[in-house]
Structure 1
Amino acid sequence: MEQIIDIHEERAVLVGVRLPDDYDWQLEESMQELISLSDTAGARVVGEFIQNRQRPDAATFIGKGKAEELKEYCEEVEANLVISDRELSPAQSRNLADKIGVKVIDRAQLILDIFAGRAQTKEGRLQVELAQLKYMLPRLIGQGTKLSRLGGGIGTRGPGETKLETDRRRIRKRISDLERELKEVQRHRALLRKDRKDEPFPLVSLVGYTNAGKSTLLKTLTGADVLVEDKLFATLDPTTRRVVLPNNDTVLLTDTVGFIQNLPHHLVAAFRATLEEVIEADLLLHMVDASHPNSERQIKAVHDVLQRLGALEKPMIMVFNKIDNVTDLLSLPHSDSPVVNISALSGEGIEELLRMVADVLKQRYSLIKVTIPYAKSNLVSLLHQKGKVLLEKYQEDGITLEVEISRVWADRIVSQL
């Protein structure tokens, strides 16, 4: 019986290139991730095309001969989309599409397309549209003033086809408008963050590889109404909820966008405002899918992004999740940070995790006793805001307080006496 092809279906061929410095496992792992990304975006992967090269071809990345082979392969499997695992220059993308005769996108454009479908907040949507338009602008050169050749589907979502069909001048104006609007949203977020800092609640951020279980943990701990899905980048916009620890202290727990290997630098820059939740955190909970065969390399990918954000030196707890799927806990990667094993789905290890959070945060606090002169009574209010006041006594020479407070604020206030 002849197979019926859905003409509206995105049938993708994935293209990978192995350069001299690449290991086989690196390419294999990256291609597996590209399959997951394609599935998340809604494409059906109908084939893979792998090539060995000494260096990328300036015109098509894979070379003229291989482009012809790829064209024949796409016709054979009836593909209407080619996705490159490596980022293509505007010229390479354009030339390759001309030679093959189907739409060509790369990993960065695929990720942006997924982001476009996941962004829920105003800030998230603005960041996605801005990143997409900046990505598309140099790719308009040589295509006239229209992008109608792209059609619809993966790689064109987000700003919408009508916006992508406008000329370069209008796109530049839209970029300028978006940047101005995003600055205003970021200013509002900064005020909200300042309000949170005025409360004596430590900020704890969930970080980790995408699909490691961060949203599941947030839902388990807080009952938060967040999307939990077995797909990459199920969460894009940060969600913050209060969590009460076993010692009755309260923390603010934030879920953030997941990371992946080879996350393009400009995407990290585009979502820096969202990732400021990580930069501002007092403690990071690094979620790791303990059942994943490449968990060690996923840890490194997360550390690489944290390094770029300047947040790698923050206090961190390694949270190995999905241990109900692990047969040998001794095989888990070594860490210099405190480690706890949990199952966010079943709740196993959650109490131990919360106790560890309380212990780590406790180490960052000091118990101080100070006498505040009445002339500087404004510092009393600050101590109440930034710490936990255990004793407050009014005396002739001032107000004596015993306060549990972070070392940073303790030093700052004592220096003003």
Structure 2
Amino acid sequence: MTEPRGVDPVTPVLTKRWLSPKSWRLSTYEQLEGYTALRKALAGTPEQLVQLVKDSGLRGRGGAGFPAGVKWSFMPPNEDKPHYLVINADEGEPGTCKDIPLMMADPHSLIEGCIIASYAMRSHHCFIYVRGEALHCIRRLNSAVREAYAAGYLGANILDSGFDLDITVHAGAGAYICGEETALLDSLEGRRGQPRLKPPFPAAAGLYAAPTTVNNVETIASVPFIVNGGSDWFRTMGSEKSPGPKIFSISGHVEKPGQYEAPLGTTLRELLELAGGMKDGIPLKFWTPGGSSTPLFTAEHLDVPLDFEGAAAAGSMLGTTAVQVFNETVSVPWAVMKWTQFYEHESCGKCTPCREGTYWLAQILERMVEGKGTETDIETLLDICDNVLGRSFCALGDGAVSPITSGIQYFRDEFLALCDENAKPAMELAGAH
């Protein structure tokens, strides 16, 4: 295992303003280096900014980990069509709660990042697509956008640079599927939120069939720090292939759940120390490294480095670093059933494998959890998962099967116990629910 290099795990970068009085106000932001990176960025060329982000190694913080600078470079250099930057703030992954606190506590870091990224990609209109239930967050973001317009950071001829940019904050309608970038674009255009067939990719034909880049909130909020600190400074944190700091959302059976910023490559053992350890001292049983759509980990994975390569090498994904921690009182089949019910409910219905598969997976798991499982149920579950994985229109289907296949891989005995003739319901077996 490689040790995380650079700063101490608790040295804040992205979260450094969060505890300042009225941290969401422009006045507070400007006192704490706010909009200094924008002035620096506007003094350079778009090409220099794209190269800087490439050199920094910044990878998408929305789950896939695609290099941000490479994604930006896909935007065509000519402007015969409008270019759009779209921010994916439709945070809906179970266990993920990093982007909404960031927009609540420090919305101007996102706005400044949007302006710099838009300048780098020659975009003059940026859309921030926020999850519809996050009302307080939407109001705060709208207020911050108004402040930025009033101060001359948005609108025409920003800081006398000749660059124009408008930002539109758009409230979604609370559909998990709209976190998928092409479903988000359809929703922005006023259609039903359903994934598009790719290609064409958004960089060629995205919003309104024009070149579009879709980035996560945390990715874009990292950009002003990179512009001010430089790519070498950014690389002092995290691991070689996954540099920089990351906000980990820690929930579940820990003493102090919440947001913890640490370098990529930090382990769950280190995160549990930050979060005060396991609640009431009850031992760890299983956990998710990146929300419920990533395969489960167990207590054996305490020292897996939580970066994009480390999580993948151990058989899961880093995802959105939504670390859900479960102790020994929880039934694995019960937890898996709950997640599967979520995916069944949130499937958009566009493709058959996901629409039908999640329905049947939920049906079987519900019956098993009631203690009415049969010996063939486990193989049936795995067979359905095999027919959903990689055959769905988007990654929702893949995410839906992850907890089931990994749950059976590590805790097959618990599923088998529900197939016994004398089986008790899963809640009784676990003794907690």
Fold in common (TM above 0.5): no
TM-score, normalised to structure 2, is 0.25
Query: Structure with the greater relative contact order (CA < 8 A, sep ≥ 6): 1 or 2?
Result: 2
